[in-house]
Amino acid sequence: MSPQGKKGKSQELLEKVKQNQDLNQIVNVDEKEIKLVIFTLHEDFFAFYSANIKEILTLEKINFVPGSPEYILGIANVRGDIESVMNINGFLGFQPQPESKENRVIIVSAQGIRTGILVGSVEDVLDVPESSIESPLATLHDNIKPFVIGEIKYKNHNVTLLNVDRIFEKIAI
């Protein structure tokens, strides 16, 4: 084969590689995206669908209510409205959330229930392609499994997507 024949084949191969790279960079603009709020509980990352979230608040004074279930930390005054504040750590098999200046209360609403949920910190609010939600890990603790929709990757972390409806169903039992 002549040197020009080799050069022609090499050039042809490079062009095919470039075409394949260009095809891999095409983004499907019709793909449905969902908005998630990513937060921490202790050292683990979790997320809720933003459709369930009404607002995110800094931790204010939570007033204990005698006789309330153990998962209710108390009530808080949110601009004149009284909101219950819930600790979901027990449902998920974690110890109570330690208090810090990073703590936030996420006001969520589903199934006619509206309550605040105490979290370690809110990390991000982002849109992700629906196809990026993967099946949850089989190694999840049994306490968490009933509340999990799936998992996504976020900044080198696995983020467990929680279902607010299922959490509230557990409360209603």
Q: Which neighbouring-strand residues pair with 150?
A: 161
Phi and psi of 92, rounded to 5°? Answer: -95, 0
What is the per-residue pLDDT across 83-115, written as a single tens digit (0 to 9) for each? Answer: 999 988 877 888 887 888 999 999 999 988 899
What is the per-residue pLDDT across 23-51, written as a single tens digit (0 to 9) for each? Answer: 555 555 677 899 999 999 988 999 999 99
Average model confidence (pLDDT) for the chain? Answer: 85
CA atoms 160, 161, 166, 167: torsion sign? positive
Q: Which two tokens stand for residue 78?
A: 């949110």
Q: Is the pLDDT of residue 122 over 70?
A: yes
Q: For the chain, which domains are there?
A: 33-172 (2.40.50.180)
27: Cβ contacts below 8 Å, ≥ 6 apart: none
What single-letter amino acid sits at 43? E
C-beta of residue 39 within 8 angstroms of C-beta of residue 51: no
